[in-house]
């Protein structure tokens, strides 16, 4: 018998089947042949929230959640964060290899040529209320780019895809900065193409009346490192949204907006905003034990803790902690760090968190750095969305070019009524379901 197979006996019929095992998986479609009779649809897998279903083959990001390993295209995240710029890592994620010098300068040039927003997009942004949530503005404005670049709908054309990728990577910092300045009521600052990707972002965020913005190199590097850490994370909720929406051959601006919408949720990228709110609510170190008890009693979650995949320390959290020290040398220590450290100390020795393998994730410390840099919590998830746009686009490109992929369309287990007749409205009874 072929060793790379799975033998199944269907006890309902007594029939035996052999399914091929490839890369540690069976094809769920192979279950379909398992039927009780000719009228049977065939066996399906039931897996709400994709707890144990691989939806694609991917060569982009590798995670070993037990060992706390994260690699982009084979390179450990620690090495990339230490030695590369964000644009180098973006190139790596999108093209599969680190760029040589001329490739990097060509790529940086391409991105730089796409940093400007069409003036109509700028006006569109002006229509938002002054207190609109920055993430809602970001999602809507990314979607609005589809109105400016109608050719983006030709998703099967490789040259058009490459162009939209450069546009999105170039424009998301501009959109993010404009959302930020819109919230503050400040005039928008146009991109400065003399500056690096992150320096230019800082320029668009913080330039006031000075003729030329000069970024603090430590803060610019810290932001670059944070961007590297957030650039991709394989099949997370937003990457899955990007692939699912993109699988309908939707244009990349709308698919990216859908992915960003998924990111905005508090269980995903929105957690960084919630962490800061939680630290504010705790208020001081003395209140930490009582807060942990509340969480253990089921009153809320410890935001920035836990992960579907990591069952040990999130390697990104470790690098972020290290980056925080560099940032605090410039900005002064953020007092919220002490509350966070105490929260981590208590949680890591508490049976509740230990038995559930709940460790700090990427969002636990990133907000403290952003806060020290002067950002308010409601912009944090937008800062996450800028680099993650690269990951979404890499996932999208891989999905579009994968001959095995089709429109994403899960099955369901129907639990509703059998067929029944419509009762005329005058004869219906009130069910009180609304």
Applying CB under 6 A, the residues found at the interface with ligand CMC are 236, 267-269, 271, 295, 301-308, 356, 358, 361-363
Between 114 and 316, CB nearer to ligand CMC: 316
Distance CA 59, CA 74 (A): 9
Between 259 and 295, CB nearer to ligand CMC: 295
Between 200 and 323, CB nearer to ligand CMC: 323
CB of 310 to ligand CMC, least distance (A): 8
Between 258 and 303, CB nearer to ligand CMC: 303
List Cβ neighbours of 359 (8 Å cut-off, separation of 6 or more): 305, 306, 307, 310, 311, 312, 313, 314, 317, 348, 353
Cα torsion through 195, 201, 206, 209, rounded to 10: 40
CB of 142 to ligand CMC, least distance (A): 18
Please check whether residue 233 is in contact with residue 315, taking contact to mean a CB–CB distance below 8 angstroms.
Answer: no
CB of 89 to ligand CMC, least distance (A): 18
CB of 388 to ligand CMC, least distance (A): 9
37: phi then psi, degrees, rounded to nearest 5: -175, 180
Output the DSSP codes for 19-54. Answer: EE-BTTB--GGGGGG--SSTT--------GGGTT--
Output the DSSP codes for 250-316. Answer: --HHHHHHHHHHHHTSTTTTTHHHHHHHHHHHH-SGGGHHHHHHHHHTTSS--TTB--SS-SS--HH
Between 168 and 263, CB nearer to ligand CMC: 263
The single residue of 233, 251, 307, 378 carrying the catalytic annotation is: 307
CB of 342 to ligand CMC, least distance (A): 16
Q: CA end-to-end span of the chain, whole Å?
A: 57
The single residue of 64, 192, 268, 338 carrying the catalytic annotation is: 268
Between 81 and 362, CB nearer to ligand CMC: 362
| Burial class (CB within 10 angstroms; exposed 0-12, middle 13-18, buried 19+) of 150 | exposed
Between 164 and 274, CB nearer to ligand CMC: 274
CB of 91 to ligand CMC, least distance (A): 23
User: Does the active-site annotation cover 268?
Assistant: yes
Between 213 and 359, CB nearer to ligand CMC: 359
CA distances from residue 334 to 291, 341, 344, 368 in whole angstroms, order as listed: 20, 12, 16, 7
User: Does the active-site annotation cover 363?
Assistant: yes
For the beta carbon of residue 248, count every other beta carbon within 10 angstroms: 12
CB of 203 to ligand CMC, least distance (A): 27
Specify whether the backbone of 212 is left (phi greater than 0), alpha (psi in -120 to 50) or beta.
beta
The single residue of 224, 251, 363, 378 carrying the catalytic annotation is: 363
Distance CA 327, CA 202 (A): 15
Output the DSSP codes for 60-115. Answer: SEEEETTTTEEEETTEEHHHHHHH--HHHHHHHHHHSSPPPHHHHHHHHHHHHTT-
Q: Name the residue whose CB lies closest to ligand CMC.
A: 306
CB of 362 to ligand CMC, least distance (A): 5
Please identify every residue annotated as catalytic: 268, 307, 363
């Amino acid at each position: 018998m072929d060793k790379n197979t799975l033998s199944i006996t269907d006890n309902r019929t007594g029939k035996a089947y052999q399914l091929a095992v490839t890369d540690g998986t069976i094809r769920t479609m192979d279950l379909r042949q398992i039927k009780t009779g000719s009228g049977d649809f065939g066996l399906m897998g039931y897996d709400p929230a994709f707890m144990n279903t691989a939806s694609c083959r991917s060569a982009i990001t590798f995670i070993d959640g037990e060992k706390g390993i994260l690699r982009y295209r084979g390179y450990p995240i620690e090495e990339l964060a230490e030695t590369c710029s964000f644009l180098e890592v973006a190139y790596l994620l999108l093209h599969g290899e680190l760029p040589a010098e001329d490739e990097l300068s060509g790529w940086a040039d391409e991105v730089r040529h796409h940093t400007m927003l069409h003036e109509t997009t700028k006006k569109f942004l002006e229509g938002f209320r002054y207190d609109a949530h920055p993430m809602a503005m970001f999602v809507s404005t990314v979607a609005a780019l589809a109105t400016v670049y109608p050719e983006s709908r030709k998703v099967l054309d490789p040259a058009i895809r490459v162009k939209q990728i450069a546009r999105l990577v170039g424009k998301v910092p501009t959109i993010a900065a404009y959302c930020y300045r819109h919230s503050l009521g400040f005039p928008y600052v146009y991109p400065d193409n003399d500056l690096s990707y992150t320096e230019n972002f800082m320029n668009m965020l913080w330039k006031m009346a000075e003729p030329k913005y000069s970024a603090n190199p430590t803060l610019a590097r810290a932001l670059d490192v944070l961007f590297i850490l957030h650039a991709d994370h394989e099949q997370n909720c937003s990457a899955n949204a990007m692939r699912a929406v993109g699988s309908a051959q939707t244009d990349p601006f709308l698919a990216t907006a859908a992915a960003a919408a998924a990111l905005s949720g508090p269980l995903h990228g929105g957690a960084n905003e919630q962490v800061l709110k939680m630290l504010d609510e705790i208020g001081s170190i003395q209140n930490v034990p009582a807060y942990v008890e509340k969480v253990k009693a089921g009153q809320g979650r410890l935001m920035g803790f836990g992960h579907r995949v990591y069952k040990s320390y999130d390697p990104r959290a470790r690098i972020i902690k290290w980056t925080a020290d560099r940032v605090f040398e410039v900005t002064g220590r953020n007092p919220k760090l002490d509350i966070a450290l105490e929260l981590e100390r208590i949680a890591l020795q508490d049976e509740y968190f230990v038995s559930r393998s709940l460790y700090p994730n990427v969002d636990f410390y990133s907000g403290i750095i952003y806060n020290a840099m002067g950002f308010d919590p409601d912009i944090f998830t937008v800062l996450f969305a800028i680099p993650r746009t690269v990951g979404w686009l890499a996932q999208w490109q891989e999905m579009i070019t994968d001959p095995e992929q089709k429109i994403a369309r899960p099955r369901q287990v129907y639990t509703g009524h059998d067929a029944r007749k419509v009762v005329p409205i005058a004869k219906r009874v009130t069910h009180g379901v609304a």
